[in-house]
Structure 1
């Protein structure tokens, strides 16, 4: 049986004690990322406690989600909503994401895309596309029940055409977006030289491949 590296064990123990105290609910920098870390810990290490911890974090995030957040992927609604779709796709959670994410979908549609110039993944159009694609591709009972209205989708397509973002590209399927998220965490952790959950998820991948 493989043993955890000392550094990964330190990260897990530290985040159990301190991670839930953050007030940042976001995916790339906050508690949603931490919840994903522990869901992956649970699956890889076969530890039910980590799954329970991740689930409690997720429930608390959903109950206390501030609705004055930005729409972006890094710090706002798109990243949080995308993570819920990813968790369902991975079998970490169950439920009707159309119901769970209904309010987030509404907030995302409030973002006016007609003059947007930022195409970045973290704060701009690529992050929005990542979320919209995850929602449109989500399995649902009725294929004609879409989470976004036709006017919003038309504005999104026009914005992508104007800025050169190929919103139908394979780059925006959940598996590719997940790799992009992990790479972002790896770079951030290396720059800051910190050993929190941002460093922990790449370490989990290393552990899995050894």
Structure 2
């Protein structure tokens, strides 16, 4: 007997979403570029775009996992460490994707970052060096100003940045607008490549999906 059920095949986007939901919870990396922080941001954005709480809940579950694994032994790097995770928290709060007191949530990260003098760090890279920490200090400072909160960094520390090899003229101003797309590689993932593709926001499935969101969305 012929079935009257209409079978609608999943689109590539739907397959990518399902694959990301299936695999991301078991990831070891909790960082911004290649781990759970970047993927959590994607799910919060995608959930708001689709007006679907399932994806927002997935983002929340990943944040819970990140918080459970966060400890003082994690590096301060932007790609996989504390400054990138803190940047992601500020991003979510500034875009009103989550609620929370950033100064309380990021207090331990702020203390770790302040212990690193910008003039003494030889690594100037985004992923593991001074440029990444600069992004964290910038987003935290601008976030505090936007919310009319106490700045998490002393003026002396901000002056140290202005005297470093990476001058931060935007620190303390409202001109720093957090944009995740600045860090995402522009690439495509074919369906046959899905099972071997990385998951993260910078080079993987989450980044491809994020770049497919309307540019005016976030």
Deviations 1:14-49 (A, max 9, x none): 121221111211000111011112112202222111
Please state which structure has a larger fraction of its residues in helix. 1
Q: Which residue of 2 aligns with 1:122?
A: 127
Distance change in 2, residues 1:195/1:26 (3 Å): closer
- Which residue matches 2:183? 181
Q: Which has the larger radius of gyration?
A: 2
RMSD: 2.9
The TM-score, its normalising length taken from structure 1, stands at 0.81
What do the CA deviations read for 1:79-130 (whole angstroms, capped 9, x no partner)?
1000000001111101110111001100111223232222221122211111
The equivalent of 1:134 in structure 2 is 139
- Mapped to 2, the partners of 1:189 and 1:128 lie a distance apart of 30
- In the TM superposition, 1:137-148 aligns within 5 A as 137-138=142-143, 139-142=146-149, 145-148=150-153
Gaps of 5+ in 1: none
SS in 1 for 2:214: helix
Does the alignment pair 1:72 with 2:77? yes
Give the Cα separation in 2 of the matches to 1:52 and 1:109.
33
Preserved CA contact (<8 Å) 1:27 1:79 = yes
Question: Of the candidates 192, 197, 208, which is equivalent to residue 194 of structure 1?
Answer: 197
Q: Distance in 2 between matches of 1:70 and 1:188?
A: 30
TM-score (norm 2): 0.78
Q: Residue 37 and residue 85 in structure 1: after superposition, are their counterparts in 2 closer, same or farther (change >3 A)?
A: same
User: Which of residues 93, 111, 114 in structure 2 aligns to 1:109?
Assistant: 114
Distance in 2, matches of 1:187 and 1:111, equals 34
1:148–1:188 Cα change, 3 Å: farther
Distance 1:189 1:126 in 2: 29
Q: Distance in 2 between matches of 1:99 and 1:188?
A: 38
- Match among 88, 94, 97 for residue 93 of structure 2: 88
CA distance in 2, matches of 1:4, 1:33: 28
Contact map agreement 1:8 1:204 (CA 8 A) in 2: no
Residues 199 and 15 of structure 1: CA distance in aligned 2, closer, same or farther (over 3 Å): closer
Number of aligned positions between the proteins: 196
Runs of 4+ more than 6 Å apart: none
Show the counterpart of 2:5.
none
